[in-house]
Structure 1
Amino acid sequence: MPESDSIRHFRTGAINFTLKGGRLRALTCYGEEIFSLVGLALRDPNWGTIPLRVGEPTIVEHSNHRQISYTAENHLNGARVFGWSVTLILAANRLSVAVAGECLTPYRANRAGMYLRIAPATAAGQPASIHHPDGSITDTSFPTFISPHQPMQRVAGLHWNTPGGTHIELSLDGEMFEMEDERNWTDDAFKLYAPPLDQPFPVAYHRGDRIVQSLTLAIYPSQEGFRPLPRLHGCTPLYAREPAQRLAVTRRDVLPGGVVPAVFRSPVHLAFVLGGEPVAELRKLLPLVPTLGVGFVSVATVADKMLTGDTLRELFPLLQQSFPHIPRGFGSAFYFTELNRFPPPDDLDYDFVYFGNAALVHETDEWSIIETAAGQAATVCAARARYPRQEVWVSPLSLYPRFNPNRTDGGRATEEVYRPERQLHDDFIAGWVLRCLLHLAEAGCATVELSEIDPARSLFRWLRREGVTAIRRISPASQRHKTEVELRAGGSTYYILAEHVAPYCFSVVPLERKGI
């Protein structure tokens, strides 16, 4: 049999592992190691391990799972002692391993078949439930200190939670298993093996004798740690044009005296972006604006860094008169900088503040773009501290700055802003937006409005269509090369992986949820 020494890495949904030499190594879920090893062993009457030769795996991709198959043989002194056929089925949060062995040469063995090594780093001290072959259940715990004897016996199934809250359900079939604490011999594992040591050994195997074993691992995500997802709006630029006495839809950006409603979802946010005469412009615009479907109204300016307190005192009553029962706010048409440097007087009554965030302001490399997600969270935290009674919105979230309030050439802030001549991959853009949503949710942002990012618009539509209400971090914030999150939508949970380095990846996998 041709022998394989390949190393394969597999990832499906929440489950990750490496296949090397016929062994599953470092099986992790949500960054926590569950199994350090799943393998085959043939032990001689003196507990020596018979060498195993493993063939090249065959991988078949299906619509909702991946099948991995390979064969293996134990060889001793040139003789083929045992032959094995192994099939793995890997789905979003479920793994099954089926093992079929056949004796090829008569042999006496203390142990033959599959074994599992559970990682103490995520199991030691954790409460567990042992499911026995007769259907009974024993509540116990994984040992914290090294157990001198078998801590778990007559094991047909084992349930426990990791320190991170992930619920693990392990089912074993074909033989009765038991556990020993391999830390006695400095192996960092709780090992499950069959048959139990209280059964007679060695066992005499004859040619043609078969061993059939299987395991099923089901992983259910924790329902803790989720943060409310901000409301999601999209921005479609509109501006008022005389003498048509109506709002003319264009694909242009906002002009002084313009109106920018976020029509991506209802209710609409009607943002009046005003010019050099804000009060007069708002008086002129209000009769032209339909009130049906409007859920939020706000004012901002592109003629100056920010609207002054005196101007806001005149604008807010006009908004109150036209939209008497609708939340109102104000914002910066540029960056958080303006909102931070020019706060309004404390005596004003309003419901929310907003500002725009753009990634490509200073640096243009991909890692710098990814790092802006954490910077956006910082702006929201600072805004919430400065405006403790109001909601904080990011509007819009964009890759490129819309305006430049710091021009030195005498041009208007609304003139075309320089954009780097580079194309970003769609999956990279969607991954950046996902990372931004995660950071903004953790910072307590109430609403995110989107502009000019087509790949992200598709993500926003999917989030809204599925009814996603909460998001949870999986990968640590320090990992710049990828973002892993879970999303909650009603009775469904989704796992999303975004790889931020070439060849890029943005994958969505539905997970099973368990009422525990």
Structure 2
Amino acid sequence: MEVTLEQGQVAARIDDGAVTRLAAHGVEVLRGLACILRDADWGTYAAEDVQDEVGATGFIRRCRYAGGAVEGEVRFTVTAGGLDAEARLICHAPLDVNRAGFVVLHPLSGVEGAPLTVRHPDGSTEETRFPQEIAPAQPVRDIAGLAHEVHGVPVEISFKGEVFEMEDQRNWTDASFKTYCRPLSLPRPFMLRPGEVIRQRVRVAVGARRAAGQTGAGAAAVPARFPAIALAAEPAWGPAPDAGTLAGSGARMLQARVGVGEWDDWLAAAAWAADAAGLGLAVELVGDPGDAPRLAAVLATSGVRPRRVSGIAPAWLASRQPEEPCPPGPGPADFARALRAAFPDATAATGLYTCFTELNRSRPDPSHGDVVSHGTAAIVHDASDAAVLQTAEALPAVFASSRRIAGDRPLALNLCAIGMRSNPYGAALRPNPQGQRLTMTDRDPRQGTDFAAAFAVAAYAAAAQAGAEEIALAAPSGPFAAQGPLADAIRALAAVAAGTPRALPVTAPDITGIASDRGAVLANTGEAPTTVAGRSLPPGQWLVLDEAFA
């Protein structure tokens, strides 16, 4: 149930028990405010036995979590001066959690790089700024209050009941900065014990708007070239792809990822299919540098030479904080040396196989490889349609940061999809047998739909703006399969990308895509429908314009 509470110039949109937008004087000052419980693998506990009460200026949700282990109540009250939020969590049975309490999301527009005053629990203050470049570690710690402006609107936020800190959520392609509890430096998971009561309060105060500069975005620059489209594949997703499927996909590369004991027949068949379909082959090894000679022997049986090779140890698939040591054992440089020796005619990639976060926190030396790579997932923190579409706002910053980390090396992006390929933050991905919108799962129900197609268009456009040479948008089969409208969108992108890049035919702020002398592929990543060339384009949808643009 979505409701909007208004008082004077303040309006709070509440959906599913959380504030999803707080605006003052028409300016978005908060992107989110919610009380959440995260499990030991960073999955979010769903609210159960929900009872909502809605008033003219107030909202109350009472619910349970984890089969009644925790009883929760959250209250939001809108005033002419801002928003008050109160939460109470009562534990009835032992429960291991990584987080329990309020999370505040700050928007990017008007906030990136802006001055910020931090109040600490001891009463001292600190003058700093929101990050401009994506911060690998927490940019602000030990928070009791924050004060800043958003497009001329003064905002003060106070926190009670726990010590908070901030992270740059653009690391995970979220379009926000997040202030949360409790500090990640404390042990986790931690146990909520029977009888324990958590009480927290967040107060947001806003002032009268002062004059501010323009808030609209200008027209996107015309990319110098378009990236090659790749498909990702691995044995866990099914049989090796066939040449016919690959040939008609619009892809130019197959990124085949294998682990120890998964090579022989599957990899040889995948290599042969890619070659028969005219696709280049990139082989990604999860194992040990000592496996490189065997990998070369397996590929020799197919008669196919890979264009690119890379490798990583399983320990490097897990996330770490920047101040923590690297995993013991072989690192990216060791794999690059071994793979270059085994495949002297191939380029060697370095980087991480997981999210941009891990690349940002464990930055490789670009000189150890010829190419730098990483992937992205849109549902690490929030699986709602709105949050996934908002990632289009963060992806340009993510890929631009990747480009800076890569230095003079090309950027070849692994799978960039809605779903999560692996979980660097827990023991496993979340199962999703009911096909729900869940965080941290590889089984997203929108895969293959027009919504996934619109996301792929946005990701491809952001990669083109960053000058990436390659991006994987789907897979031949399995949970990330290119099927239905998603397959259509990938073929359309490939067709338009074969032409000479040109400016987009529209400059609406939430319309993204690519254009060339062969047409345009566009997507609406905003919240409202719009009209493009006389055609309606709802949120989360895409379209193709066949005419050429001068």
TM range (shorter): 0.3 to 0.5
Compare the two structures and name the one with the higher helix fraction: 2
TM-score of the pair, normalised by structure 1: 0.45
TM-score of the pair, normalised by structure 2: 0.43
